[in-house]
Structure 1
Amino acid sequence: MKVVAIAPYKGLGILMQEVANSLQLEDVEILYGDLAEGVKNAVRAEQEGADLIISRGGTAERIKQRVNIPVIEIEVSGFDVLRVLSLVRDKQKKAAFVGFPVLAKAVSTISKLTSSAVDVYAVNKEESIETRLQQLKDQDYTFVVGDVITVELAERMGLHGILLTSGKESVQQAFLKAKETLSYLVSSNNKNKQLLQMLKQLKQWILVVDEQQNIVLETKSVSPFFRQYLLQMAVRVQSSCSFVLSGKEDRFLIKANRLQHDNLIMYQIEPAYEEEAAIEVRLGQYADTPGSEGLYVSRWMDRARHFKKDEYARGIWLIGESGSGRAILARYLHNVHAPFLRISGKLLNKQHLNELSTVLLEEGTIFVRNADQLNRVDIEKMEKLVKDRSGKLLLSAAEEPQDKRGTAVFNLPPLRDRKEEIPVLTKVFISHFNNIYGKQIAGVEEDGLEELIRFEYPGNVTDLQRIIKQAVLKSTGEYLSKECILESISSSNLLKWELPFRGTLAEIESEIIYQVWKAENQNNTKTAARLGINRTTLWRRLKERVEKEGRT
């Protein structure tokens, strides 16, 4: 008997797998998808022979209306509500819950019993959520608690979404009920799945479309968001191009070719493993970096709202230290309904510049990392393209360039100069890693927060994110303790080491590379990413150091 569990968020999927293993349920498949995407996964699962589906919240309710097999709903318990209310408890920050009536009633009841200062708003339709969130934003609310759709919409609008997660107890109850239900079911599905399973095992799959955006061939189903983008850009494919297309969980290398004889466009799709691509397209709600800390908008970033349309077309320089939040600011300024192009100034070449006109759709954003490595001619080509597509050009660098030629500049200060943001950032990060790792951390103890504020953060927001990630993974309690924070700071290799100022510039640079390599536990991938160089360059510089030491 086959069970398909559909998780609206990653942390729930992890808990589902743990519970399934503990109950010795072998044929359980975990899929991810919220609301409409979850329903599509459920319909597809039924077609492929699933006998029972487990999901939660609004996703489960919608699935029940579309499939003819049993659907077991994971309920949100009182303990689950208490955990999230504890996390958003803040006398200086306003918090609200926005969600469907069943959850809203439970949150309202527990909020009153515990005297939690959380306002509760019930909505009957998914379309009403955005209107309510806009009202809360206008009323200066900081935290919004809700289901996946509420959290995603809140983060797009610059609010801090806190997901109301299901604890292990609730998941276990649902699986026990599913196990009991399965004992009364008799499977009658004798479909032959051999061909489908073969196609799923292929490393590369094919999508062929015509100029009218009709699918001619699809050997493996891709995300509807990805498919829609590939259909829209098909008319722009003149010969061939390649780029990376990414979402919250998936990241694919796309090779597009026009088949001139049949006037068709063929996409070859396979998982993308390279750390950095010259062109990476992130779509709408997936504009966030996979595994990122979530969209946190500070008062500094909020000042960037004054930029006008013609300034975006000419290009805006985002200046700040590594990890200070330039990429987060870029996502904040981005129109979430259009593609977000993440460009590497180090890897971009003439061919890539030509391919930008194919992958950039209307009102899209071009965000260039290490833009100071581009020449003025390349930037002017991007300016023209962005102006033609009514889009935005955002140029990121550590230092302000000498040749700006009328472009606007926005300086983002380092985290050590805006430590008042650390408490809120900490809450956002805890919520984010709770969702990813299936934890239920409710906050950080006061003396632990004091240690976080005391730390200087040479790597800025990235360092704080790394510390909270380590602490969430290490912690066995409901709150992050001072000891846990200090241990995470130490194990995250963030403590300062003395810079060498003796010798030639090349020798100083070599020592810095070596120290970072040691700090990253001799991990070449992490070291290269932290230094902003590729792994080949890193290997060559380390090899030169070893050879030099062997001669002396």
Structure 2
Amino acid sequence: MKIKILFVAPYAAMKNLIEDCLLEETEIDLHIKMGNLQEGVALAKEAEAQGFDVIISRGGTAKLIGEAVGIPVIDVHVSGYDMLRVFTLANDLPRKKAIVGFSTITLGAKAIIDLLEIPIDIFTIDSESETEPLLSRLKQEGYQLIIGDVVTFETASKLGLIGILLQSGREAIFDSFKEAKMVAQWMLNKRLEIERLKALLQLTAKDFMLISRNGDVVFEQWTAFNSRPIEEISIVLDSMQEGSNGKEISYIKDNNGEMIKIVKSKIATSESSYLFCQFSPKKMNSTSEEIMKVNVLAPPLVIQKSKAMNDCLMMVNRCLSHNRFILHGKRGTEKELIAQYIHYHKTRGNGLFASLKGLDVLDVNLDNIDKDIKTIYIDSIDLLEDGLRDELWGKLDSIKRKGITIIIGMVELQNSTEIYSDDIIRIYIPSLSERKDDLREMVTSFILHFSQTLGTSAIKMKEDGLALLLKYDWPGNVDELKALLKDAVLTEKGYVIEKKLIESLLNQKGLMEVDFSSDFLNGTLEDIEKKIIEKVLEEEEFNQTKAAKRLNINRSTLWRKLKG
């Protein structure tokens, strides 16, 4: 099948030359039409609508056509041979001469004129509208012969000047044929590749939309749904977290009010980025949906300059083939981050990570868990009562056969047969006081995080401020450090966090002890515990669920302690 090409010739002599060259070209279906500038644009638009593969033109006409159509446009260049022919001819005419045109012509002309020392002055224009005023001025200055493109030639003739048209020769015409065939073949290969990808998507992704950054739907395909299930694309875009990587899951209502699941992935190309959204009917029950945080993570940043954290990750990497882990360490030691690290390096990001509290596991139907979830992280099971903890272990055993990795976070290891089972890997997460060598990089990392997410100004901390942080024991570990740095960057309006600010924030910690009255602390430990629970209940407006979560105990334990 021949390549269908429209050649828009801006002047008559070129049409004759093209027809002559076409006698030696058999691989293209070439149509020739006359048209300069906007006339040529109209012809090109018509050709695009008729299914032409490529358009060839020259100079300003080619430039305008390229801006107006979506198919490839080849510009026939004025070669050095073409210029040399015209300059040789003009050199024999004893008149004051000038070449006038766009930089695409004048830059090449200058090199030849300077090399051969031909007495021709050069004037560069940026738009067609500059041509007539410039030639009128040149005429007043005694110029008689003007060399240039079609517009320059016609304007010179209109003003009574001698115009010489810079014409493209046979070499340039054949070069344009060759370039048009190469571009057309490349476009054909790309079209075939796109068709193959579309066919592959029909097999692998049944219901999806590809959305550009500005919210345009680039491509969509629906099989399970009769049509696009949502009307407002902004709902999908707004629910994607800023700066997130990998995949995310969200649940929204479709046009009929039914809940649907959307798995979103960011796709980056060399020129832009897109959101790939796969749609399916909701599969998780409402309780699971409310409790679980589900997403696929990019490689989590774990700072490990210290020996303690390096040893921790070394142990993790040795045991990635296992499916059950217990991460134990003090509160605030980023156990969930290490769980994410395990998840990513086991799945290479090809699975979903779910996180929930130990108490909440009892409310989730794990038999109906989303099939894409490959890792479940459960925190605070050591706060459960023995009976509830046994129930939880039973639920976890029921999904062990599904190949899901279970990671449990605990403050202290409990004496139980489950915790010391042969198929469980126990990994100690060091406290911040054990990994002070990591603190400097942590500070930089958190400052960068807040700058990008909160728009804060601070970008560094002074050494004497860092020294204060290194002296502090950090009983709240990494969580406490992050909270302090957040306070610091929100307070600091400049670019550097000073020692004075760090000193002030650390001093506040010493003043933040709970001011219990002596009466509050009277009585047995059970009496004091009951008073604390009553105080928390009061602050939570007597919402037992919120109070239990705040105290890290379950509702039945809270009720029992109040009754006791």
Interval containing the TM-score (normalised by the shorter chain): 0.3 to 0.5
Relative to the length of structure 1, the TM-score reads 0.43
**Which of the pair has more CA radius of gyration?**
2
TM-score normalised over the length of structure 2: 0.43
